[in-house]
Structure 1
Amino acid sequence: MDIVVIISQTLLYLCFSVLIGSFILLLVPSQYRPDIKISKRLLLISAITLPVFAFIPVLDITLYIAPRLGLVESLKIVLTTYTVGTAWDFTLLGSGVLILLIALARPAEKSIYAILGALLSFGIILTVAWSSHASSIDQVVGIISHFIHLTAVSIWVGVLLIIGWCSLNHKNWLEFLSWFSMVAIGCLVATALSGLILMDVMVDGYIDSWLVSYGQGLLIKHLFLLPLVFYALANGFIVKYMLSKDAAFNPIPWIRVEGFILFVIFTITAIFSQQSPPHGNYLMSEAVSPLFHLLHNDVIDSGSTIGFVVNLNTVYFFFLSILFVGLIVLSFFKKASIILSFLFSCLFVMCIYLMLMVTVVIR
């Protein structure tokens, strides 16, 4: 069931991104973006599947307690007394209104439709934040920080996805970058600040949390921010230079790579968000991460902490990571396949991860 929950949460984040990115771009005047064609069917599918994907964690809890109380009674209890169930009730309500809005909207009402659609989507994100782990630890701070975090990422990813896959051309690209660069920077800052608040709420000691699966996921997610920032800067600044030298240069593939990296971050978030956050005496009740154990066979108990000692392997992986940075930059200027560039990004992250892990010592 865990894998089903992970897939559902990844697709849930993807649906939010598609909806919010579409509504924002519908509000942007045509002279400030490329020509785009957003399928109404795509928006309907995203809105219809929102409550379906959001229901999977509810079903997971229901199936867990069903052997004692029965399926129907368990579902009733979860939907009426558990926070995750009550929040889903509002998710279903908001999604129903959103589906009607998309289905009944007319082309002449594009602006009001986009505004209402965006507001409803933000409202549904709030219901998801309400049911999050952070909310169960600190309700007010947890909900607000999770809402800001998911909203900022959904705006960033959403615009990238729609521009990357629904654009008919790359007309008005410099005009598009003039406002989207600011939006991306704002989303990055909001994501970073809300992420720090979420870590403060949910994680007792960031580095020591690497001992468990939640901390490992958090670390890998943060490492993927490094190539993400590169592509964001490249799409914001280097592309301007490339277009000034070659008007036929097509920047859309590199927007897609940035979107790929963000989708990987979505997936990692969905994976580790299903793990218990390292809060309190977490090593007493939580097994050490299998990934961490793969690289360290030390005896680990509740008093264990992480330290760092630089060694030859550290230097080796550091220079290997520099090599992949160079290959990422080279692939950009040589207009190489975006799959190749994405692969270099993943290998860069793997090298940085291994550099940190081989430097770790248990105290």
Structure 2
Amino acid sequence: MDILVMISQALLYVCFAVLAGSFILLLVPSNFRPDIKIPKYFLFISAITLPVFAFFPVLDIILFIAPRLGLIESFNIVLTTYTVGTAWVFTLIGSVLLVLLITLARPNEKGTFAFLGILLTFGLILTVAWSSHAGVMDPITGIISDFFHLTAVSIWVGILLIIGWCATNHNNWLPFLNWFRIVAISCLIITALSGLFLMNVLVDGYTDSWMVSYGQGLLIKHLFLLPLIFYALVNSLIVKYKISKNAKFNPIPLIRVEGLILLAIFTITAIFSQQSPPHGNYLTNVAVSPLFRLFHDGIIDPGSTIGFVVNVNIVIFFFLAIVFIGLMTLSIYKKASIIITFLFSCLFVMSIYFMFMISVVIR
């Protein structure tokens, strides 16, 4: 069941991204973006499956208590008394309204349709933030932080996904970059600030949390921000220069790579968000992450903390990371497959991850 919950949460985030990106781009005048063709079934499938994916964590709780209370009684109790169940009811209502909006929308009402669609999408994100770990632990800071965190990432990822896979050309690319650069930077800042508030709610000591699975997920997710920022700089600086020199230059493959990295971050978030947050007296030898155990197999107790040392292996992995940055740059210059470019990005993240892990000492 845990695997199904993880997969469902990753797909839930993708649904939010598709909806947010589609509605925002439909609101943008056509002379400020490439021409796009968004199949209506994209929006319909995202809206109709969203409450299905959001239901898996609810079902997990129902199945957990069902052996004691029975399935029907457990279903009723979770939906009426548990925060995650009550929030899901509102998710279902919002999704039904969104499906009706998409079904009944007329081509000549595109602006109104997109405006109402983005409002409903933000409302649905709020229902998910309400039922999150942070929302349960701190109803004010947790819900607000999680809402802004997921909203900012959904906008960023969504625009990249729709432009990357639904654009029919790369016309008006410079006007698109001019406003999207501001949006991306704003989303990055909001994501970072809201992430800090979320960590303050969920995590007691960032580096010490690396010893458990939730902290490992945070670290890997944050490391994937490095190639993301790299490609964002490439898209906003180098691509802009290339298009000014050659109007036929196609920047869409780079947008797709950036979108793949953001999808990887979504997936990592979905996988590790199902783990218990490292808050309170959480650290025991049994609770230590299997990933962390690959590097440190000693006894770990609640009083253990993480320190850092520098050695030759760290220097080797640091230079290896630089090599992969060079290969990422070369793959862009040679117009290599987006899979190759994405692979180099993953290897870069892996090098930095190994560098951190072998620098850790347990105190």
TM-score range, shorter chain: over 0.9
Aligned partner letter, 1:53: F
Cα shift readout 1:194-242 (whole Å, capped 9, x = no counterpart): 0011001100000000000000000000000000000111111110011
Normalising by structure 1, we get a TM-score of 0.99
Question: Which AA in structure 1 matches 2:188?
Answer: L
- Separation in 2 of the partners of 1:285 and 1:119? 46
Structure 1 distance, partners of 2:95, 2:247, is: 42
2: distance between equivalents of 1:302 and 1:280? Answer: 10
Confirm or deny: 8 A CA contact 1:321 1:351 kept in the other structure. yes
Contact 1:36 1:167 in 2 (8 A): yes
Q: Does 1:95 align with 2:124?
A: no
Q: Which residue of structure 2 lines up, in the alignment, with residue 137 of structure 1?
A: 137
Where do residues 10-29 of structure 1 align in structure 2 (5 Å cutoff)?
Answer: 10-29=10-29
Q: Which residue pairs with 1:68 in the alignment?
A: 68
**Aligned-partner Cα distance in 1 for 2:178–2:320:** 35
1:126 matched to 2:126: yes
Query: Does residue 229 of structure 2 align to residue 229 of structure 1?
Result: yes
Letter in structure 1 aligned against 2:156? W
Match of 2:343 in 1: 343
CA distance in structure 2 between the partners assigned to 1:95 and 1:254 by the alignment: 32
| Matching residue's letter, 1:226 | L
**Secondary structure in 1 matching 2:294:** helix
Kindly state the Cα deviation for residue 286 of structure 1 after the two structures are TM-superposed: 6.0
Alignment of 1:264 onto 2:267: no
Shift of 1:251: 0.3
User: For the residues of structure 2 that align with 1:237 and 1:184, how far apart are their CA atoms?
Assistant: 14
CA distance in 2, matches of 1:189, 1:38: 28
Letter in 1 for 2:55: F
Q: Which moved more, 1:277-286 or 1:218-227?
A: 277-286
Q: Which whole-Å CA distance do the structure 2 matches of 1:341 and 1:115 have between them? A: 36
Which stretches in structure 1 are left out of the alignment for 5+ residues?
none
Aligned to 2:309: 309
Instruction: Report the AA paired with residue 148 of structure 1.
Output: F
Give the alignment of 1:1-363 within 5 angstroms. Answer: 1-284=1-284, 287-363=287-363
Normalised by the length of structure 2, the TM-score is 0.99
Question: Aligned equivalents of 2:220 and 2:108: distance in 1?
Answer: 45
Please tell me the residue identity of whatever aligns with 1:222: H
Mapped to 2, the partners of 1:237 and 1:131 lie a distance apart of: 40
Which letter maps to 1:145?
Answer: S
Q: Which amino acid aligns with 1:240?
A: K
Alpha-carbon deviations, 1:305-346, whole Å to 9, x = none?
111111111111111011101111111122121111100000
| Count of residues in correspondence between the two structures | 363
- Give the conservation status (yes or no) of the 8 Å contact 2:37–2:168: yes
Contact 2:15 2:46 in 1 (8 A): yes
1:143-171 superposed Cα distances (whole Å, 9 cap, x missing partner): 00000000000000000000000010001
* Contact 1:212–1:286 (Cα < 8 Å) also in 2: no
* DSSP-derived class of the 1:329 partner: helix
Q: Return the offset for 1:245.
A: 2.1
Give deviations 1:81-134, integer Å, cap 9, x for gaps: 000000000000000000000000001111011000000000000000000000
After superposition, the CA RMSD in angstroms is 0.8
Cα distance in 2, alignment partners of residues 5 and 123 from structure 1? 22
